[in-house]
Structure 1
Amino acid sequence: MFTDLEFDKVCRELEHPYLPESEGWEFFVESHDVTIYRQYNKVSGLYQYKIFGELKDVNPDVCAQVYMDTEYRKIWDTYVNDLREIEEGINKGIYWQINFPFMMSNRDYVYMRELREVDMDSKHIYCVLAKSANFNCCPEIPGVIRVDDYFQSSALTSNGAGGTKAFMHYYDNPKGMIPTWLINWGAKTGVPQFLTQMQSACRGYPDYLRTKQQS
């Protein structure tokens, strides 16, 4: 699905960020233990982002489990309208629909996703790669805009103090006429808010698993 080289590159960026100004990377915002950089895409007129942050009281193995658990995310992520694993032949993927603000069409994504555990420079890293893919079992839905230009890579490792050091590289083209204020909110506020939500979800994960086993 993804190559060893792709995983290796993401893991190295966690420890050694590659953000050359000559390629257009610029500091964007810092908030709540999260620092975000961005790079302008001349073709789409949008930005891609690299995010560095910490989840101070959650172990990386729990973060990785929560990140991959689609059923649990439907509980803690209020923007999820629909989220499920899909399968077509030997190919496995994810269908994900996001609630957009009133008077705007929801967006949905169909993508491949893979988690690998990598040992590098005395670090144990959980690395997740995702990118848009075509699955005939998930045709477009009337009234929902399909995002077909999307990729995301994430890497998680111990921060050495009982928490998690995190890296994310993210880009998508949501199409349509989306107000600038919403795009700015998503990058400046939405990402740190998501990490805060995820940290809370990680704390509650053991209780969720116990409840699930008992039901």
Structure 2
Amino acid sequence: MPSVADPSQPRQEPQHEWEAASVDVAAWSKTQEAQMERSTVLEIFGSEHTETAIRKWVRALAPEHWAYIVDTETEYDLDRVRVLLEWQEEIPVCFQREECRMECKDVSAEILYDVLHDVEYRKKWDTNVIETFDIGKLTVNADIGYYAWKCPKPLKNRDVITLRSWLPMGKDYIIMNYSVRHAKYPPKKDLVRAVSIQTGYLILGGGPNSCTIIYLAQVDPRGSLPKWVVNKSSQFLAPKAMKKMYKACLKYPDWKKKHNPLHKPWLYPEQSTLPTISLSEVSVQHADSLENIDESGVAETKDDRGDASDEDSVN
């Protein structure tokens, strides 16, 4: 669910303007006889919001789209208003998100956490990656990184610069990121600079050799994408990527034994050799400041770009 901060209140840094939510959109849509496939929920902080104010938020978030206000719920104890919207056409990209959940047998939460952090290992198992590297650190549990990935042909490939933070919570772990701008890493001519509104992983420990991972991705790819891309991404690519990551986890202990086994700066910050970056060197990357690419008319073609075999080996 998108959540929006009241502009009359001071903003805290770093902050996320978007959050995952547990609201059952399908049930709410059915109750109000709204079209579920075109419905979303907007969350606005502050309990005093008129219909005019709500429409202002909708126009600010998706100026090129029109939505009907179907219903509202005010939660005074949480000081927020939830709004059920039905879009006139399709749901805007900024309101779309992917969410996957996977049970991981024979993989501990600690191993999965290491795999998600280990940049060198990602280059081995993530066949969609074009280039990835860490730029610098902000604190002991926050850094700035670059990631470029392959998109299904004939779409242009994408890249992103993100501020990532992580936190161990007993047996559980969380890793989150959102897009930022860095003057030394402007958009490249051969790639489309995408925007991570909020992306991350929640790892729930389930025992010494099992865990559950929940993956949330809310990304603006900067462009009008054809429907086959949206469908393929949600139905095939995201689940397949999760499966590939699980297989990589099974192989990680043996791989790590041969590749600097004691080096884990995400656990031992004193090992980090990254330069320190001041927060003043970066700023939140807003989508409207980037080029918008129209690829809505692109037809799907058969090739292996961005869709490698599950049997890729890690050596």
TM-based fold match above 0.5: yes
The answer to whether residue 25 in structure 2 is matched with residue 21 in structure 1 is yes
Per the alignment, do residues 53 and 94 of structure 1 end up closer, same or farther by CA in structure 2, a change over 3 Å counting? same
In the alignment, the residues of structure 2 paired with residue 84 and residue 166 of structure 1 have an alpha-carbon distance, to the nearest angstrom, of: 23
Query: Could you say which residue in structure 1 is the equivalent of 2:144?
Result: 93
Higher Cα Rg, which structure:
2
* Deviation of 1:40 (Å): 4.2
Per the alignment, do residues 45 and 166 of structure 1 end up closer, same or farther by CA in structure 2, a change over 3 Å counting? same
The answer to whether residue 225 in structure 2 is matched with residue 178 in structure 1 is yes
Query: Could you say which residue in structure 1 is the equivalent of 2:99?
Result: 50
Deviations 1:102-133 (A, max 9, x none): 332110010011111114xxxx2111111111
* Deviation of 1:198 (Å): 0.7
In the alignment, which of 166, 180, 190 is matched to residue 115 of structure 1?
166
Q: Is the 8 A contact 1:24 1:40 kept in 2?
A: no
Aligned length: 189
The answer to whether residue 114 in structure 2 is matched with residue 65 in structure 1 is yes
Higher strand share: 1
In the alignment, which of 123, 129, 141 is matched to residue 80 of structure 1?
129
In the alignment, which of 240, 245, 266 is matched to residue 198 of structure 1?
245
The answer to whether residue 192 in structure 2 is matched with residue 141 in structure 1 is no
Query: Could you say which residue in structure 1 is the equivalent of 2:157?
Result: 106
In the alignment, the residues of structure 2 paired with residue 158 and residue 102 of structure 1 have an alpha-carbon distance, to the nearest angstrom, of: 37
Unmatched segments (≥5 aa) in structure 2: 1-12, 31-37, 42-57, 63-90, 262-315
In the alignment, the residues of structure 1 paired with residue 226 and residue 247 of structure 2 have an alpha-carbon distance, to the nearest angstrom, of: 30
- SS of the residue corresponding to residue 97 of structure 1 reads strand
* Deviation of 1:211 (Å): 2.2
Per the alignment, do residues 210 and 104 of structure 1 end up closer, same or farther by CA in structure 2, a change over 3 Å counting? same
Q: Is the 8 A contact 1:125 1:156 kept in 2?
A: yes
Per the alignment, do residues 190 and 153 of structure 1 end up closer, same or farther by CA in structure 2, a change over 3 Å counting? same
In the alignment, the residues of structure 2 paired with residue 20 and residue 209 of structure 1 have an alpha-carbon distance, to the nearest angstrom, of: 41
Deviations 1:117-174 (A, max 9, x none): 114xxxx211111111111121110021001343112110223473111122220010
Q: Is the 8 A contact 1:19 1:25 kept in 2?
A: no
In the alignment, the residues of structure 1 paired with residue 188 and residue 168 of structure 2 have an alpha-carbon distance, to the nearest angstrom, of: 35
Deviations 1:24-61 (A, max 9, x none): 799xxxxxxxxxxx974872712113332211221110
* Deviation of 1:210 (Å): 2.0
In the alignment, the residues of structure 2 paired with residue 169 and residue 89 of structure 1 have an alpha-carbon distance, to the nearest angstrom, of: 23
In the alignment, the residues of structure 1 paired with residue 29 and residue 136 of structure 2 have an alpha-carbon distance, to the nearest angstrom, of: 37
Query: Could you say which residue in structure 2 is the equivalent of 1:168?
Result: 215
In the alignment, the residues of structure 2 paired with residue 158 and residue 88 of structure 1 have an alpha-carbon distance, to the nearest angstrom, of: 27
Query: Could you say which residue in structure 2 is the equivalent of 1:30?
Result: none
TM-score, structure 1 length as denominator?
0.76
CA root-mean-square deviation: 3.1
TM-score, structure 2 length as denominator?
0.53
Per the alignment, do residues 175 and 70 of structure 1 end up closer, same or farther by CA in structure 2, a change over 3 Å counting? same
Residues 27-42 of structure 1: matches in 2 within 5 Å? 40=40
Q: Is the 8 A contact 1:40 1:48 kept in 2?
A: no
- Percent identical: 21
Deviations 1:165-191 (A, max 9, x none): 112222001022322112111111112
* Deviation of 1:101 (Å): 2.6
- SS of the residue corresponding to residue 210 of structure 1 reads helix
